Amino acid sequence: MEINADHTQRVVINHHDLPWISSPESGVERRMLERQGDEVAKATSIVRYLPGSKFRMHAHEWGEEIFVLDGTFSDEAGDYSAGTYIMNPPGSAHAPFSESGCTLFVKLRHLGREQIEREVVDTQTAAWHTGMVPGLTVMPLMQQGHGSTLVRWAAQTYFNAHRHFGGEEIFVIDGVFEDEHGRYPQGSWIRSPHMSLHKPFSTQGCTIFVKTGHLHS
């Protein structure tokens, strides 16, 4: 299966426009944003656990990143409320579940040798740092290799035009993100290819998950 598998192409999707697709486990459903492979796949998805659902123990050969959008996600290592970021490195394994239900942004099978240690960040309590322009604050997430970052835009914040070596991926967690190409409300996923150019801003404010530099190959 291939869904938006050509990384040379810009893609814009709001996951709310996609259908929920059942997974092999009862009560766990997905909205597929990009995918290369069948059940074992390099993929970016929105994953929903219905209350009481669980996934059997499984390994992540090439790791995974998870951002909890709502509810409480759990595995044998703990419980993770909305706003938690998790990086499970290549070779790790877990048996995830959710007692009350949750929704996740998930990236699978895209990490490498530089990701060794598991990382967990509670973005509700972690520190924000001053960004490159007034109104912009950032929170580093993954510390190993091509990092993922949370970026918060105050209303009426504007950034300079710039290119992304290795591309850029954005998921809008809340508010409305914008650039000269369009307007992207909560739930939007934007993947821009290597050396793409844009001039981003937000008139009403937003929070976005950003990953850069991983789309060069």
The pLDDT of 137-158, averaged and rounded, is 93
pLDDT at 125: 97
Residue with tokens 């967990």: 120
Q: Which amino acid is at 101?
A: G
Domain at 129-212, CATH from 1.20.1250.20, 2.60.120.10, 2.40.10.220, 2.60.120.380:
2.60.120.10
pLDDT at 213: 80
Domain ranges of the chain: 17-122, 129-212
Strand runs labelled E in 38-118: 41-49, 53-54, 58-60, 64-75, 78-81, 84-88, 92-94, 97-98, 102-108
| Percent of the chain clearing pLDDT 70 (strictly above) | 97
- Residue 158 is inside which H or E element, if any? strand 157-158
Q: What is the pLDDT of residues 88-101, one digit of tens each?
A: 999 999 999 999 99
Token pair listed for 192: 């821009």
C-alpha 25/C-alpha 47 separation (Å) is 12
| Percent of the chain clearing pLDDT 90 (strictly above) | 80
Least confident of 68-77, 113-122, 196-205: 113-122
pLDDT at 217: 57
C-alpha 30/C-alpha 40 separation (Å) is 14
CATH architecture group of domain 17-122: Sandwich (2.60)
Same topology, domains 17-122 and 129-212? Answer is yes
The pLDDT of 182-209, averaged and rounded, is 97
Token pair listed for 156: 């009426």
Q: What is the pLDDT of residues 54-76, one digit of tens each?
A: 998 888 888 899 999 999 999 99
